[in-house]
Amino acid sequence: MEKQEIKIEEKKPLLPRIDIDLDTKKEIAKIGMTASMGITVATSMYMKNKFMKRLHVVAGVALVGFSYWHHTLYQPAKKKENKELPTPSNEKQTEDKE
């Protein structure tokens, strides 16, 4: 029997990936928070209407999502370096060298 080669094609994304800098992401998060807050406040006055009630809930969830995203954008980047923690054996070796 002959071995057949199987060609695996890489899947291309449907939309091109756009790299956005951090400042632009922060501005988008702020605009999203402002818009969802405004919708939440505006729909709170019309809670007897079924559509407005649903829109109020969706806008509230969007506000929480944008707030979380905004919070994570302001966190410092984690360093991947493994710094050696001082242990009693390391401290003794440093004292002996001095």
Please determine, for residue 67, whether its predicted confidence score (pLDDT) is greater than 80: yes
Q: Which residue has the higher pLDDT, 80 or 32?
A: 32
Q: What is the pLDDT of residue 58?
A: 97
Residue type, 91: E
pLDDT-based confidence at 96, cuts 50/70/90?
A: low
Reading the block at residue 33, the tokens are 């928070």
Please determine, for residue 12, whether its predicted confidence score (pLDDT) is greater than 60: yes
- Distance CA(83)–CA(73), nearest Å, equals 25
